[in-house]
Structure 1
Amino acid sequence: MIRRFGESPEPGRRYRLRRGVYALLPIGRRLLLTVQHQPHPDLQLPGGGIDAGESPVAALHREVREETGWKIAAPRHVGTFRRFAYMPEYDLWAEKICLIFTARPVRRLGPPTEPFHEPLWMDAGQAARHLGNAGDRHFARALARKP
């Protein structure tokens, strides 16, 4: 059973299954996050959908690079959650299966290539309070508690 965060699915609404990967990227007590400015400002763990034929780890590397401009190393799967959400950029109601990884930010390669994204470093405890969805906050909180 995969833990669900956020709203319950609406009866009668059709949801498209979307698998995605998301990264906790700590250096010390800080996390590398992304701010997606459009369609509205949202603080997020870097990540996104897994393309057809793509492995989760390959998708993680690609998504982190696109949304933060950073190269990562040593990804490790730490958990999974599900949430039901409307995705305005795709005009889609989705059942999102979110695979959460930790990884080490290695170096900045350049600016994000994903439109409307900006990298942001934030204290893990602060991130656990301000991330835009409850699943992201749950995993950031668990990371912030580690000594």
Structure 2
Amino acid sequence: MIRRFGAVPRHNQRYQMRPGAYAILPRNGRFLLTCQMDPHPDIQLPGGGIDPGESPLPALHREVYEETGWSIAAPQRLGAFRRYTFMPEYDLWAEKLCHIYLARPLRKLGPPTESQHEAVWMSPEEAIQRLGNDGDRHFATLFYRRSQAKTQPKCSRPFLKG
């Protein structure tokens, strides 16, 4: 079963399935994110819809480039979540099936090609607070906690009081 985040679906509303691929992009202690400016500024994990006939990984590469201007490498799937939302840019009520990946931002190729998007860098702590949906925050938090646990020193023996 895939976990749901956000609003409970309305019983009287029809939703169109909208699968998408999104990425957590850490580099030098910060996350590369996108700010979608319209209809209001919204910080998001870069990514978006998987087109009909397209596979998730090519969609992920395309969407990250469109929204940030960056190429990525070594994507690894972390999981997925579902959310029900209205997408004003498409005038569409969507059941979004969000596939989340971890990838490495490789290099900046230019500005975002998708209008109303701006690439932004944030510390993981700020990103977790400012990401615009609960699912993005959940996966960013999980990744951040795991990465912090890996960098903590480990003792081979318990600490003994003298």
Instruction: Please give the range of the TM-score, normalised by the shorter of the 2 chains.
Output: over 0.9
How many residues of Structure 1 are paired with residues of Structure 2 in the alignment?
Answer: 147
Gaps of 5+ in 2: 149-162
Partner Cα separation in structure 2 for residue 76 and residue 144 of structure 1: 15
Correspondence 1:1-147 to 2 at 5 A: 1-145=1-145, 146-147=147-148
Partner Cα separation in structure 2 for residue 29 and residue 138 of structure 1: 18
**TM-aligned CA deviation for residue 126 of structure 1:** 1.3
**TM-aligned CA deviation for residue 11 of structure 1:** 1.0
Partner Cα separation in structure 2 for residue 29 and residue 55 of structure 1: 30
Partner Cα separation in structure 2 for residue 65 and residue 11 of structure 1: 36
Q: CA RMSD in A?
A: 0.7
Question: What's the TM-score, normalizing by structure 1?
Answer: 0.98
| Structure number with larger C-alpha Rg | 2
Instruction: Please tell me the residue identity of whatever aligns with 1:91.
Output: D
Partner Cα separation in structure 1 for residue 9 and residue 138 of structure 2: 20
**TM-aligned CA deviation for residue 28 of structure 1:** 3.2
**TM-aligned CA deviation for residue 29 of structure 1:** 2.2
Question: Deviations for 1:61-108, whole angstroms, at most 9, x for unmatched residues?
Answer: 000000000000000100100000000000000000000000000000
**TM-aligned CA deviation for residue 143 of structure 1:** 1.6
Partner Cα separation in structure 2 for residue 108 and residue 25 of structure 1: 13
- Structure 1's consecutive aligned runs of 4 or more residues displaced over 2 angstroms after TM superposition are none
Partner Cα separation in structure 2 for residue 137 and residue 127 of structure 1: 8
**Identical-residue share of aligned pairs (%):** 63
Partner Cα separation in structure 2 for residue 94 and residue 54 of structure 1: 19
Where 2:4 maps in the other structure, the secondary structure is coil
- State the match for 2:157 in structure 1: none
Gaps of 5+ in 1: none
